[in-house]
Structure formats: C-alpha cells, structure tokens
Structure 1
Amino acid sequence: MNARPAVVLLSGGLDSATTLAIARAEGYACYALSVDYGQRHGTELEAARRVAAALGVVEHKEIHVGLDAIGGSALTDPGIAVPDRPQVGIPVTYVPARNTVLLAFALGWVEVLGGADIFIGVNAVDYSGYPDCRPDFIAAFQRLAQLATKAGVEGREFRIHAPLLTLSKADIIRRGTELGVDFGLTVSCYAADPEGRACGRCDACRLRAQGFLEAGLPDPTRYAAGAPNPGERR
C-alpha cells in the first residue's frame, strides 16, 4: 500500500466516525485505535468495531488502560452520576488526562508504522467544556510529539489533525453524511444501556439530537425504553 499511514482515534461516537471518514477521503491508509480506558459501558467500543469494519480500516487496534483506577469522572466512576442537565464550567464527565493518554498511544503506534499523522475528533464548538478539546492543547501535543519521539528528534514532522475542531455538530453530521458514514452504527450517549440505546438526558444526547435537527437530517439514534427523545422536545 502506497498511501501514507495515519492513526485515527476511534471512540465509536459520531465525531470520531466522521473523523475516520475524513482521513480516508484524504487518501490516508487508516489504522483505527480505540481505547478501553475504564468507561462505564462497553457499547461505545462495540460501536467502534462496527464503524471500523464499515469504513474499511487497514487495522483496528484496541488498547486497555484503567483510568477508572484514578476516577474523578462520571464516565469512569459509577459513584458519580452522569448529569441530566447542562453544567457550568468543566463538567463531571471530563475524564482527567484522557485525550493526553489516547494521543500518547496513537503517537507510539504511528511512529512504529513509520507515519507522521494522527487524527482525533475533538471539537471546540459543541464540546462540553473539556480543556483537552481546545486548539491550544492540540498544538501543544504536536510540539510534544517532536520532542518525545526518536522519529521526531531525527526529523520526522508529526501532525495532529483535528478536522472537526471548529465545526458545529450539525456541520459534523452533514460532513459525515456526505462521506457515507452510517451514524446508526455509532453511540454517543454517556449513559447508554447494554444494548447501546441512549438515555436521552445527558449532554452528549442533547448535542447529538440538536445537531441532527439543525442539519435537517433524520436522527438514527436508538433510545432506551422510557427515555426522552431530546430532539422531539424542541
């Protein structure tokens, strides 16, 4: 394969699925990386497997790291409730050091592959206040990649691609749809049930539903029995 290799962080949500589709459309040989970091449910990892298969990656690797041992987030500590309404400031769904850890694994893999490109689906418009979704963080990690790797010291120029950084959720959905992403394969909910059905109450559910409304496209999200559909309440 002559295409340049790129590692794409794939969580199983609609943002990372769109990011993978963008990387593929740009001609990269895509290696998808999903991380089991101790999140509350495994349905997003199952979604990542579906998306990787549907979009035809070269390889899909899963890495396990226990950020739940650290805790401090509603996504890794079952003792902290997932909020059902917007929060002021950085919400309890922030996972300490998550994107730093994920990018570090992606950096190691892309160096081994002989590549220089990493794709991550962070977003600074519809994001939930997370500090590791900001442009400054992405730029800083790219600088770190040059300093922290053998390849970087020897002259390879690493690039951290964040193609969704300045897009609205509606724009992301439109772009993914144009590239053939089946959003019915994805799971975005912070508190999805074991079958991957959404709670309809968390911040991720609200942002996703609003995105489909604003994009003017049908929302394929499956909701748990009795769960509200945030798109229908508006």
Structure 2
Amino acid sequence: MQRSLTMLKDEKAIVVFSGGQDSTTCLFWALKTFKEVEAVTFNYNQRNKNEIKCAKAIAQELNVRHHVLDMQLLNQLTPNALTRNDMDITDGGDRELPSTFVPGRNLIFLSFAAVLASQADAKHIITGVSETDFSGYPDCRDAFIKSLNVSINLAMDQQFVIHTPLMWLDKEETWKLADKLNVLDYVREKTLTCYEGVKGDGCGECPACKLRRRGLEKYLASQKGAEG
C-alpha cells in the first residue's frame, strides 16, 4: 500500500500525536519523510493532563501546526484507568486486557484524523501503534490498521495512506530509530510516556515506564557492546 518514501517528499501528512516516546519518534520520522507535517492530539479527558501540555510544547518547539480535538465522549462510554482516577493501572492477565485499554480509541482517533487530513489536504496519516509491544491492545494490530485504512478510503472516497513506522519494532528498536533520526536525547528528555504524568524517564514504576526503560537499557547496552 505504501509507496517508496523517496516519492513522498512533496506530500503532506498528519501525525496522531500524544507527546509520548512513540508518537514523537513518528513525528520526527514524518518531518524527515514529508514536505509538510501537522499534528493532532485528542483530549479524551485522560487523567494525565500533562500529556496534552507536553504535546503542545513539542509541536510549538518543532514549529509544527498542532490541532487538539475534543473527544471527551470516550470518557463517558468507556471506563478505563487512563480516564478514571478511581481505577488502578494494571497489566492484563489471564486473557484480560490491561486496565489502560480504551475500547475504540484508535478506531475513533484515526477516523477523525482522516477527516482532519481531508480538510488539510493531506493524504498521509501517521500513527505510532506497534504490534510488537502493543500490550495486548487489539486496535494496535497491523490487520486492524490495514482494514481501517480500506474502510476510511471507502467511506470518504479518498486515497489516504496510514503509515505505521513502529509496527514491527519493539521498544529497543524504537529507541534505535530515534537515535538514527538524531533525536534520542530529545525523545528521552522531552516526551511523556508515564501514566503518572512524569516527563522524561517517568516515575519508573508504571507499566509504560517499565516498558520504556527496558527498551532504552537494552539499546544502550547494545551500543556499548558494539563500541567495545
């Protein structure tokens, strides 16, 4: 579905952007790949309000036009630990999804990103989902993204392309991509992945921080080994 990246230099893209490690890496990837890039962040009444502040700050610093769309209806429809302070953040187990899973989130976000892309005359949509480190979320799977891409194109009678630069990368490889883009330190220091709202290396205890830290430690160890 995706054309050679060398053919995209004159085209425009929309990045689904949370200000976290993955979406910020994707934003830098998009800035290198496309002529013009805009970012969209969704306010779904997430308990961590610093996420939106971080996204705004990064977009401003990188001089990227930034849209924040109100999606707080999700909070009413889907009780989950990302939007409810009275719910504990837990990993999934025994075939159960983590408490941080927001049903329909990527379905809705990517659909609205496509509507925005249509208004912005952009044909490309970038999202940082990954099937390798997807925590069991069904809407991070490659099959879902490909299916949704076809559905959006049929629904809107346009030819969007949804790009997933991280789909087959684990967290170690995502750090490697950031390093390849010469933004590893930027991503490490200025992004917010932590469920508790702590920027940079985070709280160190929540599932998101543990996953991020393990990937970084593995990547830094591999670089040290290569130098030795």
TM range (shorter): 0.7 to 0.9
Give the 3 Å change call, closer, same or farther, for CA 197–180 of structure 1 in structure 2: closer
Contact persistence 1:6–1:30 (CA under 8 A):
yes
Report what 2:19 is aligned to. Answer: 12
Could you say what secondary structure the match of 2:208 adopts?
helix
> Whose helix proportion is higher, 1 or 2?
2
C-alpha distance in 1, partners of 2:151/2:26? 22
2:87 match: 80
In the alignment, which residue of structure 2 is the partner of 1:125? Answer: 132
What is the alpha-carbon distance in structure 2 between the residues aligned to residue 201 and residue 87 of structure 1? 18
Q: Which residue of 2 aligns with 1:224?
A: none
CA distance in 1, matches of 2:34, 2:201: 33
CA distance in 2, matches of 1:32, 1:3: 17
Structure 1 residue aligned with 2:76: 69
Q: Structure 2 regions of 5+ residues with no counterpart?
A: 1-8, 222-228
1:9 and 1:106 in contact (8 A); partners too: yes
SS of the residue 1:216 aligns to: helix
CA distance in 2, matches of 1:214, 1:208: 10
Normalising by the residue count of structure 1, what TM-score does the alignment of the two structures yield? 0.83
**Mapped pair 1:47 → 2:54:** yes
Cα-to-partner distance string for 1:31-67 (whole Å, 9 max, x where unaligned): 100011111111111111222133332x101111111
1:99 aligns with 2:106: yes
Q: Is 2:142 the partner of 1:141?
A: no
Are 2:191 and 1:189 equivalent residues in the alignment? no
Q: Please, what is the CA RMSD of the aligned residues?
A: 1.9
Task: Show structure 1 runs of 4+ deviating over 3 A.
Answer: 85-89
Within 1, Cα distance between the matches of 2:98 and 2:19?
21
Q: Distance in 2 between matches of 1:131 and 1:77?
A: 21
Q: Which moved more, 1:172-181 or 1:35-44?
A: 172-181
Residue 87 (structure 1) shift: 3.7
Matched, 1:60 2:66: yes
Q: TM-score, normalised by structure 2?
A: 0.85
